[in-house]
Structure 1
Amino acid sequence: MFNLRSLQKNKTVRYGVPMLLLVVGGSFGLREFTQIRYDAQKIRKRLDPALEARVDTERQSVILEEEYEKMKQSNLDEWRNIRGPRPWEDSREYQEQQRRRDN
């Protein structure tokens, strides 16, 4: 009985141990909650198997030489760099200005 009362009055036991349990327990708890979040994102990003197979075959069928030949055939002399509208500009108004400049 005497030892229990002395432990209750001890500041380390009264404040330190609960704080330590809170910090260590919170660390493990946060790890579990963040793991659930990343697992849910991984499931959401998964593609349909048929679509994924189609995408993989398209990636494999691209040949560098064929793409080079396509680029050689394109006419780069007539190419113009047209910037998009800034966030504060009205996009329709800017498109109209670009059309007027082209004509």
Structure 2
Amino acid sequence: FTNLLENAIAYSDSPAKIEIVLSKSSQRVSIKIEDTPPGVDQNECDKLFDPLYRLDASRNSKGAGLGLSICRNIVIAHRGTISASPSKLGGLCIEINFPLLTEK
């Protein structure tokens, strides 16, 4: 989660506002991280998780474009899902969902 928070801070205009929302239902646990502009167009959101993919606006920052791809692989390894969409704050929203495990 460190990478997701660092990205939210690094790619938001100053002063950045970051919202983190944790929720639980009977079947899953959800984590939402939303930030302020600039955001990402809807058509770019799925590409963010591709290895080595970088937005044009981020080329001046350090990094190899692997962070979100690694995050996705970790989430999948824990049977979760991760997605990106435009945020209601004007930036990017990353949502992670994990299934709740039932005790047997």
- The structure carrying a bigger strand percent of its residues is 2
Q: Which TM-score tier does this pair reach, normalised by the shorter chain?
A: under 0.3
Which is bigger in relative contact order (C-alpha 8 A, separation at least 6)? 2
- The structure carrying a bigger helix percent of its residues is 1
